[in-house]
Amino acid sequence: MANDGPILVTGAAGQRGAVGRNVTGLLLERGLPVRAMVRREDDRATALRAAGAEVVVGDLLEPADVFRVVSGCRRVYFGMSVSAGYLEASVTMAAVAREIGVEALVNMSQMTVSQMTIQNTTPSPQQRQHWLSEQALAWSGLPVVTIRPTVFLEGFFLPVTGPSVRARSRIELPFGRGKTSPVSTADVARVIAAVLADPGPHLDRIYELTGPRSQDLDGVAREYSDALKREVTYLDIPPEDWERGLKKAGFSEHLTHHLVTMAELNRAGRYDRMTDGVERLTGRPAMSVREFVSLHADEFGGHKGE
């Protein structure tokens, strides 16, 4: 590895529980050199540097920046926040990675892509862009490993259900009776770090990642209750109310459209998926909802009596 240069991790600063930040930490723990790409110099960049990463600042929508950060790296994790420019960033990364000649590009995607065809995409602009990005990467001929996780515990359930569980001990979502199997980004990152550490056996593979159980939101609420030792219930709210709330909270049109589609797919049972990808790739079972809520109990309002 020493002669191969650092492993590039994009989106390395990350929002709460972000994949890139976790992957950076795990690779450093393995003693592997990491170039962590961030969008700006801030406390998160300082923390990455303190942890031992080489921090580079750049914009994934600027080809010259992407060329600069990929140069000298043989392995790349590509992921960034859900945003309108995702496809452009993916294709830019593909063009640069081809020019430089990387030996592995690990691409973050979404599990919904597994159910998509030309005749049957989804209305979510983000999901369509992931589908198109996967197509473009396949045409590129690059050595790609595709990661398709289902919904994140850190990136969705914690921020979206945290406030109502804290205030009213209620999960309020328009998910109907649909089942879901959320996965922790800590597990997703463990899979990605394992792939980046030794990409050879994984090239051209697609890894679908879920949590250990697919259940409806009453089942999810029971796991919250067990973890918090107080009763948490699920309220199936009207989709229109949820959409109004997202807009009021200032979510971008792109993200709102994506989340509204996610809810629609949940109601239609399209998130009822189960895989053993996490355990197969890392040797450890995926984290359950109960374990996750226990770990973050304070942010869900704490245990009964606290």
Ligand X SMILES: NC(=O)c1ccc[n+]([C@@H]2O[C@H](COP(=O)([O-])OP(=O)(O)OC[C@H]3O[C@@H](n4cnc5c(N)ncnc54)[C@H](OP(=O)(O)O)[C@@H]3O)[C@@H](O)[C@H]2O)c1
- Which tokens sit at 16? 């709460």
Tell which one of 26, 56, 70, 108 touches ligand X (CB under 6 A): 108
For position 152 contacting ligand X by CB under 6 A, the verdict is: yes
Q: Return the residue of 6, 25, 125, 155 that touches ligand X, per CB under 6 A.
A: 155
| Positive or negative: CA dihedral 196, 202, 208, 211 | negative
Q: Which of 6, 7, 8, 20 binds ligand X (CB under 6 A)?
A: 20
Shorter beta-carbon distance to ligand X: residue 230 or 239: 239
Question: How far apart are alpha carbons 135 and 116 in whole angstroms?
Answer: 12
Is residue 81 within 8 Å of residue 11, measured between CB atoms?
A: yes
Nearer to ligand X, 76 or 169 (CB): 76
What residues contact 199, with CB distance under 8 A and at least 6 apart?
75, 103, 104, 106, 143, 145
Angle, CA 291 vertex, CA 289 and CA 297 arms, to 5°:
95
Residue 40 lies near ligand X (rule: CB under 6 A): yes
In terms of CB distance, is 13 or 145 closer to ligand X? 13
Min dist CB 16 to ligand X, Å, is: 7
265 binds ligand X (CB under 6 A): no
Would you count residue 25 as binding ligand X (CB under 6 A)? no
Tokens 């929508």, located at residue = 61
Residue written as tokens 């597990």?
A: 187
Question: Is 126 one of the binding residues for ligand X (CB under 6 A)?
Answer: yes
Element (H, E) at 50: helix 43-51
- Could you tell me how many residues of this chain bind ligand X (CB under 6 A)? 25
Contacts to ligand X by CB under 6 A: 11, 13-15, 18-20, 39-40, 59-61, 79-83, 108, 110, 126, 149, 151-152, 155-156
